[in-house]
Amino acid sequence: MLIIEKNSPSSQKFEKMMPHICLITPPSIFLLDERVFMTLGILKIAAVLEQAGVTVDMLDLSGVENFEQVVHDYAKSHRATCYGLTATTPQMPAASKIHKTIREVQPHARIILGGPHVTLIHAAHLYEKKHNHAGRGTTGLDQLCDMFDVLVTGDGEEAIFRALTEHPPKLVDGDDPKSELFLTNKRLTELPLPARHLLDVDSYQYEIDGVPALSLIAQLGCPFGCGFCGGRMSPFLRRIRMRTSESIVQEVVHLYETYATKGFMFYDDELNVNPKFVELMNLIAKAQENLGVEFRLRGFIKAELFTDEQAEAMYRAGFRWILVGFESGHERILTNIQKKAAQADNTRCMDIAKRHNLKVKALMSVGHPGESEETIRATRDWLIEVEPNDFDTSVITTYPGTPYFDEAIETQPGIWTYTYKKTGDRLHSVAVDYRETAEYYKGIPGEYTAYVYTDHLSSPELVRLRDWLEADVRQQLGIPYNTGTAAVRYEHSMGQEGIPLSILRTSSLQVPETSTK
């Protein structure tokens, strides 16, 4: 058995561990292009394991069509006796197939599930338990317990060590702020950088204004309570944890020096919730001056928190595009969402961006409680009025971890209804098995499917009006369709290319790139 280094935060309690693990990123078949942003969460797990001396293999199945065969071939080698999967809710159908494949080849292997889906399902279960009723969250958690040997919720960087012990618990809860497994600001800053070296970095293609770019995460969590957004009852996703500005700049410089990249996509929920945001922008600008280069940056901001000072600092740091989740152009819908931003705040945000030459991609959605043809037309009118440089409109999906899911009650068999109490407006959703159904939060134009409806609009009507809104606004503003653009379905605030090549790398063995054609 492996003995962890004594300076490891987990060394005192988790000394004996399995010495070889294969970490797996399932494919995201719901995306137009999977090789855009690498999954950083599991790479952070890989980094802490490597730091502790654990042998880590990585199966990155993003964009791999025959991913089950790839998993089968790897499992047959028996190099690892433990597998760690990460999965968002839309990835669960693929994760279920990966689980089945491993079980067939290595029936006694330990299979661990971590990531957003299990975290959100567990949070929903705890909410139901608190309110003395069993619902979809409890059912979903029971299903996952039946499938996987160990479930890891919340922060995985410390929790993974407990999951790898000889006799792990069924559930390792890294989503409890009272636990030593829950990351503090200090520990978040001290963590090693994501183990990007375990992936074929060059196979990920994303550009910002023509500059090749990589993604990073500067902070964790979003404090707002938007009804459509996952993790509102999960401390892991609700509580803000901040790295120091200096550590974030060090990662930017590391990416530039290691991969020669000059573009950086900040995949934080809302960059400007950071009280030291302007300081961070100034440090990034100073780093460019010292390096003699010019960066291009892109990221999300919260409309009502946006200021002229922030905008000026962002432009100086290299931002030319920002993404803002405005969601709706109707005041009642903004209230029902609990967005905390009024239409006037959203309009002011657009004005600030234009004053500082920042282009805006407006992230919009339809299908909220109380949605009607009138509210969707109001969204169309507002977009035409403020003239964003680009926009994106999705049909809401009630994923586990969202208030629309967690607070809904079953009003008829298979139909769950969320009611916003202040207005009485309702949203109805169809129950699905997330292990089997890839409930896409977006789709290819002309192929959208809605799993929700309101008292005013049926599911087909929501799809029809979404398509009408997008077509009309694009025509009015002269914005072309971007269905062929990388990450078109990856840039919405609700979060989370078919290359037939899987890259298998290990931290301690020299393994060649493995073609799966």
Q: What percent of the chain has pLDDT above 70? A: 87
Tell me the backbone φ, ψ of residue 56, rounded to 5 degrees.
-120, 120
Alpha-carbon dihedral sign for residues 63, 68, 70, 71 = positive
Q: Is the pLDDT of residue 441 over 50?
A: no
User: Is the Cβ–Cβ distance between 245 and 280 less than 8 Å?
Assistant: yes
* Residue 271 per-residue DSSP state: G
The pLDDT of residue 400 = 85
* Residue 480 per-residue DSSP state: P
E-assigned strand segments in 137-197: 150-154, 171-174
Q: What is the mean pLDDT of residues 306-333?
A: 97
The span from the CA of 234 to the CA of 126, in Å, is 10
The pLDDT of residue 139 = 92
For residue 134, name the pLDDT band (cuts at 50, 70, 90): confident
Q: Is the pLDDT of residue 275 over 60?
A: yes
Instruction: Out of 20-24, 225-229, 484-488, pick the least confident.
Output: 484-488
Residues β-bridged to residue 264? 214, 297
The pLDDT of residue 483 = 53
| Higher-confidence position of 492 and 240 | 240
The pLDDT of residue 94 = 93
Q: What percent of the chain has pLDDT above 90? A: 74
Nearest to 392 by CA among 404, 375, 374, 379: 379
Q: Is the pLDDT of residue 250 over 60?
A: yes
Nearest to 71 by CA among 39, 104, 30: 104
Q: Is the pLDDT of residue 443 over 60?
A: no
Q: For residue 476, give both structure tokens.
A: 């009015």
The pLDDT of residue 502 = 26
Contacts of 19 (CB under 8 A, 6+ apart): 1, 2, 54, 55
The pLDDT of residue 492 = 43
pLDDT per residue over 401-439, tens digit each? 899 999 999 999 999 999 999 999 999 999 888 777 655
Q: What is the mean pLDDT of residues 130-152?
A: 93
Q: What is the pTM of this model?
A: 0.87
Q: Is the pLDDT of residue 50 over 70?
A: yes
pLDDT per residue over 365-410, tens digit each? 999 999 999 999 999 999 999 999 999 999 998 988 899 999 999 9
For residue 32, name the pLDDT band (cuts at 50, 70, 90): low
Domains of the chain by range and CATH?
14-194+498-515 (3.40.50.2300), 206-477 (3.80.30.20)
Pairing of strands 55-60, 501-506: antiparallel
User: Is the Cβ–Cβ distance between 416 and 463 less than 8 Å?
Assistant: no
* Residue 58 per-residue DSSP state: E
Q: Is the pLDDT of residue 470 over 70?
A: yes
The pLDDT of residue 48 = 97
Q: What is the mean pLDDT of residues 230-252?
A: 93
Q: What is the mean pLDDT of residues 463-486?
A: 86
Q: What is the residue whose two structure tokens read 């100073």?
A: 286
Q: Is the pLDDT of residue 487 over 50?
A: no
The pLDDT of residue 435 = 75
Nearest to 241 by CA among 273, 215, 214, 194: 273
The pLDDT of residue 445 = 58
pLDDT per residue over 81-116, tens digit each? 999 999 998 899 999 999 999 999 999 999 999 999
